[in-house]
A and B are shown apart, each in its own frame.
Chain A
Amino acid sequence: MENAGGTQNLKNAKNNFEKTIRKVGKRKPFSSVRNWGISFSLWPVHFTTACCGTEFAAAFCPRYDAERFGVLPFVGTRQCNVIFIEGTLTKKMAEAAKIVYDQMPEPKFVIAMGACAIDGGIFWNSYNIVRPHEILPIDAYITGCPPRPEGVLKGLIMTQEKIRKRGTPYPES
C-alpha cells in the first residue's frame, strides 16, 4: 500500500509540474520564444485539391524556394502542421480535407489559396462545392486565380507574422 501511495504522489507531482510548465509557457518571454519556434517550423501537408497545386509546387521548387523561410512540404499528415486548401473544394474532397486536418497535431494552421477557396470562384453557387471557411478555421487567404508563387510565399510570411505577433489562433489546452 505504501508503494501505491508513493506512485500516486509521483503522479500528482508530475501533473503539477506539467501544469506549471504550461502556465509559464503562456507568459511573455517563454511564449514569444515558443511562437518564434513554431513560426519557423511550418510543415505543409501534400494535399492537392485542385489546380492551384501546380503553383503551390512551384513555390517550393528552386526558383522561389520557400524552404528559406523554414517551410517544406511533407507527405505524412502526422508530421505536418499546415494545410493549404489549394483551389476549389468539392463535397467529396471536403470530407478528405476534414480528415487530414483532424489528423494533424496541434498547433495547426490553415491557409486558403485561390479564388475558389475564398468564396467558390468560378464555381460559385455550384451544386458540388464547399467553401473552406465553413468546415475549417482559416488563418490566411491568398487571392488570385491561381495565385503566383510569390503570393503563396506572402501568405506564408503573413501566417508567420500572425503567429509571432498576435499569438496563435489555435485553442490553448
Chain B
Amino acid sequence: MSISVVYPTYLSAVVEPSKVVEIAQKLNSMGFDHVKSVTGIDFLEENKIVVVYHVSSFEDDELAQFILELKTSVDRLNPRIKSLIEIWPSAEFPERETTDLMGVTFDGQPKKERLMLIDNFEGGPPLRKDFKLKTEGIDA
C-alpha cells in the first residue's frame, strides 16, 4: 500500500485487492463517509483493470475539503473484487455501472440485473479497449 498527495486536497492510495475492505473500514472510521464515484480503467497491454473509488466526507468539515482515491488493480481476464456496499451504501449504483460498462464483478452486490445497458446487450462490456463497434453510416 502506498499513499501519495497528488495536490494539497487530493490524496491517492494504491492498495492490494485483498486489503480493500480492511482499508475501506479504516477510512470509514476516520470519517470518510461516502463514495463519490467508482471507475474502471482498462490497461490492455498490462492485462489489468484498475478500479478507483473516490471517497470523501459530508459530516466532517475538515475532511470534506479532501478527496481520496482508493486504487486497486484486478486481473483483466477474471476481474473480481469484493463490494464495498456494506461499508459505503452509496457505492451501489456506481459499482453496478462499472459492472455493466467494464465487466468487473463485485462480490456481495445484492442486485444482479443491468443498470445502464439493455438486458440483451451483445458484445461484452463496451468501455473495454478491445470492444469492437459495428461501423454504421456511409462507411458500412
**Contact surface of A with B, Cβ cutoff 8 Å:** 91-92, 95, 119, 124-128
Query: In this complex, what residue of B is CB-closest to A91?
Result: B118
Asked if residues A127 and B135 are in contact (CB atoms below 8 Å), the reply is no
Is A125 a contact of B126 with CB atoms below 8 Å? no
Q: Are A125 and B135 interface neighbours, CB within 8 A?
A: yes
Across-interface contacts of B135 in A (CB, < 8 A): 125
CB distance from A27 to the nearest CB of B (A): 44
Chain A neighbourhood of B46, CB < 8 A: none
| Minimum Cβ distance to chain A for residue B26 (Å) | 38
Kindly state the separation between the CA atoms of A24 and B136 in the bound complex, as whole angstroms: 46
Q: Is the interface of B mostly helix, strand, loop or mixed?
A: loop
Interface residues of B (CB under 8 A from A): 116-118, 121, 123, 126, 131, 133, 135-137
Contact A127 B123 (CB under 8 A): yes
Question: How many angstroms between the C-alpha atoms of A119 and B123 in the bound complex?
Answer: 22
CA distance A126 to B101 in the complex (A): 13
CB of B133 within 8 A of CB of A127, answer yes
The answer on a CB contact under 8 Å between A124 and B137 is yes
Please name all residues of chain B whose beta carbon is closer than 8 Å to the beta carbon of A127 when the two chains form the complex: 123, 126, 131, 133
A152 to chain B, nearest CB (A): 26
Contact B137 A91 (CB under 8 A): no
Instruction: Take A127-B126, A127-B131, A128-B126 as given contacts and tell me if A92 and B137 are in contact as well, using a CB distance cutoff of 8 Å.
Output: no
A128 to B116, alpha carbons, bound, how many Å?
10
Q: Which of A91, A92, A95, A125 contacts B136 (CB 8 A)?
A: A125
Q: Which residues of B contact A95 (CB under 8 A)?
A: 118
- Bound-state CA distance A126–B133 (Å) is 7
Separation of A151 and B121 alpha carbons in the complex (Å): 35
Contact B137–A119 (Cβ < 8 Å): yes
A128 x B117 contact (CB < 8 A): yes
The answer for the CA separation of A127 and B124 in the assembled complex, in Å, is: 11
